[in-house]
Structure 1
Amino acid sequence: MNINSIFLFFFLLIVKMTAQEITGHVFDAKTKEPIAGVTLYYDGSTIGAITDLEGNFTIKSQYQNNAVLVVRHLGYETRKIQDAGNQGILKIALKEQVQSLNEIVVTSDPFSRKQKMKVFTLEFLGDTKGGRNSEIVNKKDIKLYFNSYNNTLSAYSDVPIIIANEYLGYRIYFEIEEFKIYFKTQSLDRIDNIHQTLYDGSTQFFDTANGDPKILKRRSNAYLGSSMHFMRACWYGNLTDQNFKLKKKFRDLQLSEFYTVQKDTVRDMKAIRFVGDNYIIYHKRKGKSVYRSTLNINEPDSVHTLDRFGNYKPFQSLVFGGYMANFRIGEMLPMDYGL
């Protein structure tokens, strides 16, 4: 075996060890018949597949990850599978979605659909360049309701919300699970009136940039200083090299004062333990201002699993504020961006 053959052998071996591939079969839970055309994807990514006529699928990822696998098909309940890459060949049964009439709640809603849609769009897409240059394709499918008793605007949709983001070059499908805007008063004013905006759901990205250099530059700008950028820097342990600075009570922190690595669970994932509960994060771009964010950890000293993509779990325990919290759907990048 010559030197080139030896190099190729070890290169392919490394790729096989690093990459993650999952295969499986999707079928009707009642009839046991295979279901063709089922959409499967890692939540928040462009990585996915569609089942063939026999209900089979294969999904390949460049790196191992701990993202949730979403399984969606019209007429069936959406399923979310944790740790899909560690379960061997997946056998996924889908239950038919039971159609029911929407519950009628008798209460006053003082605002028109147009007024509610305006504030929903700004809070959902974001009042940023990406948000203002994005469009919700199927607004008619979104149901909006303002509860006058607790000054809360809620949004619902029976089908995924489709977003055309021309600014970052993505078409996004967002399957909404919860969306609520909590106002301080019975008003839709956003300035000094929104107490909190909560939204949760699964997101699938499709790249529409076609290599446009202007769009690729915008993506790079959206990435720098984002929570994704920060968490990836945590995985690599190079916060300083990525121009991040940590502070706690006005004191600069070393990386070892922020978290410790418990162990490498697999090649692309690490188990880390955060030392404290709240931090200030600064990010400086070359020739630009310093951006300030906050990070509150609801479960201090607990162990989190962090992968190379920047995904972490349990994700509910990390709450970003400040600059990073301004990122909404219009500035969101898929988890596999840049890898």
Structure 2
Amino acid sequence: MSANVNEAIATISRKQGARAPLDGEPLTIRARRDVSDSVVEIEFVNPDGFSLSAWKPGAHLELTLPNGLVRQYSLCSDPDEIGSYRVAVLKDPRSRGGSAFIHDEVREGDVLMVSGPRNNFEFVEAPDYHFVAAGIGITPMIPMIEHAERTGATWKLSYLGRSRASMAYSDSLASRYPNKVDIRPDDEFGFPNLPALLGEPRDNVKIYACGPEGVLKALEGIVSDVWPADTLRLERFAPNDAEALTKNRTSFTVKLTLSGLEFEVPEGRNIVEVAEEAGASVIYSCMEGTCGTCETRIVCGEADHRDSILTDDEKNANEMMMICVSRAKSARLELEL
């Protein structure tokens, strides 16, 4: 689609008060506030006063920071209120520069380039939910909880963290939903007994979990053994298996069906890098298989999935792949790019 057509669509959308997803557009920080001893909430608005794009629980924004870093943060505001977006950012002591910059440098009135919303943590309708949030993993859960409450679904939240002071939104959640929210800081309860928190396996429930990798791996182990298939849905901050990204990196051939380009991906390279060098226009971000920006349709061939987004069923369907980390099991792949 041409730039002129894109601009025409964007102009019509603005006049109608709706927006297509943002693609690196400037948003103004209207408010900034501390929501725990290590988490800051940032509220974005359109500087022209127009409404923002609609979104659903589980979506995230991609921020391009003035220092050149690109980071993804879950939306924690109300999807029905598209006059602004809110995200919450943990100041990670192991920060690679993103969260530290936001905490130390970003202020009200600043303008950041924003893309999205995008959603790799789709919230599906179910009669019963168990939300398990650890630390900053609470952020995508808040819109999910509000949706479950509005629709009359049964739900409960197990919220884990270091201390109450570190747990963003814990007071407001506990006061608003006193019989459904279980706040369990480690300094009061010790390390969580996850099997006890989940209870007995049952049908017709979805467990949504987000947080540090150790908690997510433990949940996967517990649920996969005894719970019904497709009960657990996760959002990760880091690759599920970082070592797997560098194993068995044999070469393979890729054909891009939309551009007609064809090239070999050698064992030391990834599809994104080689496709760009061949002249393809590729959209990507994290290069770790965690953000979903580079998701691409498979036309022919079998993918070697190494991302941390697709479910097992989605990987077995072999319809889409994340080309920043995933490779090929077949000698040749054809991709819709």
**Structures share fold, TM-score greater than 0.5:** no
Which of 1 and 2 has greater Rg? 1
The structure in which a higher percent of residues are helix is 2
Q: Report the TM-score when normalising by structure 1.
A: 0.28
The structure in which a higher percent of residues are strand is 1
Q: Report the TM-score when normalising by structure 2.
A: 0.28
